[in-house]
């Protein structure tokens, strides 16, 4: 299998690599993204855009979120008009999905402003992209830090704040998530003072008028220590060695949970049957760099 190797690694790429090699090959080796929108990704990205503007310039996060969503809707309509019947069918429900995400995200941000209006966080950095050399390799680790803050409630220690939108929340998993460890390690290049850990800033995808008794927001502080960083860097180096060894083998790794949400499930099925999966990739997917231009 031939694929392009970028001399960098991210948390999402690392997770994909250890979840399914075929998914990694489609998404990171061959660099494909689906034309069809992901309601989870769109909502999360739009929420990030709104919160970044609020914390950086005190802009109205709801306005910024809605402008971003309208841009995505226009992009889908343009792709439907310029594509053939196959593309039009693939994007058939995307506009309605985006409109629903827009309604949901607007409500979530309205409630977020009310819930966190008196928070005691001193904002130090907002939406900072970091490329940090991975020790023992010729690669960089790539991360985007949502917020870097000083928390007056915790002896003015410095934390990375990571925004998450979620449906189900698993508190017991937070301390095991390598993404948070990676952010503390990478963000240390942004400031001279030590970073104590991560503040998980979760927004539940809860519809207006919901009768759910679950909290709409989750804030949890995670202290990160040197041992956690050591283990994470070991994992990074192992991923680098695997991909650069010349012996990396590509194959699907079916899983009853992750396959149902995978954006490559249709070409994966054809790949497993030895049929023309490339036809789907050519017609219903775009290269990541092309999608970024469209958006």
**pLDDT digits 0-9 by tens, 225-267:** 999 999 999 999 999 999 999 899 999 999 988 898 899 999 9
* Position 157 in a domain: yes
Domain termination residue (choose one: 224, 242, 275): 224
The answer as to whether 54 is a domain residue is yes
pLDDT tens, 99-156?
999 999 999 999 999 999 888 899 999 999 999 999 999 999 999 999 999 999 899 9
My answer on whether 168 and 214 are in the same domain is: yes
Is 197 found in the same domain as 146? yes
Q: Phi/psi of residue 225, each to 5°?
A: -110, 175
Same domain, 130 and 174: yes
Instruction: For the chain, give the mean pLDDT.
Output: 91
Q: What is the model's pLDDT at position 290?
A: 55
Measuring CA to CA, which residue among 108, 112, 100, 93 is closest to residue 36?
Answer: 93
One domain for residues 167 and 201: yes
Residues 106 and 125 in one domain: no
Q: Considering only CA atoms, which of 136, 128, 73, 138 is closest in space to residue 100?
A: 73
Domain carrying residue 131: 121-224
Please tell me the total count of domains within the chain. 2
Residue 193's CB: how many other CB atoms inside 10 A?
A: 11
The pLDDT of residue 294:
38
* Domain boundary residue, one of 63, 83, 118: 118
Q: How far apart are CA 196 and CA 192, in angstroms?
A: 12
> pLDDT tens for residues 171-193?
888 988 999 999 999 999 999 99
CATH assignment of the domain containing 137: 3.90.320.10
Q: Is residue 196 part of a domain?
A: yes
Res 278 pLDDT > 80: yes
Q: Give yes or no for residue 199 having a pLDDT over 60.
A: yes
Domain boundary among the residues 224, 254, 288 is at 224
- Based on the domain organization, do 86 and 73 belong to the same domain? yes
Query: CA 290 to CA 120: how far, in whole Å?
Result: 41
Tell me the pairing of strands 140-151 and 121-133: antiparallel
Q: Which residue reads 């969503």 in tokens?
A: 69
- Cα separation of 52 and 225, whole Å? 27
Q: Shortest CA distance to 224 belongs to which of 157, 130, 133?
A: 157
Is 240 contained in some domain?
Answer: no
Could you tell me which residues are beta bridge partners of residue 176?
A: none
Asked whether residue 294 is assigned to any structural domain, the reply reads no
Report yes or no on 263 lying in a domain: no
Whether 138 and 103 map to the same domain: the answer is no
Reported as a pLDDT band with limits 50, 70 and 90, residue 1 is low
Is residue 49 domain-shared with residue 135, that is, in the same domain? Answer: no
Alpha-carbon span 238 to 139, nearest angstrom: 12
Same-domain pairing of 64 and 107: yes
Q: C-alpha distances in angstroms, 289 versus 32, 51, 87, 108, 113?
A: 9, 25, 19, 30, 34
């Amino acid at each position: 299998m031939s694929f392009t190797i970028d001399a960098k690694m991210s948390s999402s790429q690392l997770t994909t690599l250890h979840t399914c090699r075929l998914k990694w090959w489609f998404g990171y080796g061959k660099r494909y993204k689906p034309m069809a929108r992901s309601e989870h990704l769109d909502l999360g990205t739009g929420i990030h855009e709104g919160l970044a503007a609020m914390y950086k310039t005190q802009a109205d996060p709801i306005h910024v979120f809605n402008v971003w969503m309208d841009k995505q809707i226009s992009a889908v309509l343009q792709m439907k008009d310029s594509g053939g019947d196959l593309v039009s069918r693939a994007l058939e429900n995307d506009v309605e999905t985006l409109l629903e995400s827009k309604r949901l995200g607007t409500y979530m941000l309205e409630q977020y402003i009310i819930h966190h209006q008196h928070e005691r966080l001193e904002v130090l950095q907002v939406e900072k992209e970091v490329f940090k050399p991975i020790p023992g390799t010729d690669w960089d680790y790539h991360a985007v830090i949502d917020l870097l803050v000083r928390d007056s409630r915790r002896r003015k220690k410095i934390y990375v704040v990571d925004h998450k939108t979620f449906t189900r929340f698993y508190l017991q998993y937070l301390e095991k998530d390598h993404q948070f460890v990676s952010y503390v390690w990478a963000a240390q290049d942004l400031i001279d003072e030590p970073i104590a850990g991560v503040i998980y800033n979760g927004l539940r995808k809860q519809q207006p008028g919901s009768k759910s008794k679950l909290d709409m927001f989750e804030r949890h502080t995670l202290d990160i220590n040197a041992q956690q960083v050591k283990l994470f860097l070991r994992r990074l180096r192992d991923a680098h060695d695997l991909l650069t060894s010349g012996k990396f083998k590509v194959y699907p790794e079916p899983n009853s949970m992750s396959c149902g949400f995978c954006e490559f499930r249709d070409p994966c099925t054809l790949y497993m049957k030895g049929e023309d999966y490339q036809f789907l990739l050519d017609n219903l997917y775009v290269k990541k760099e092309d999608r970024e231009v469209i958006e």
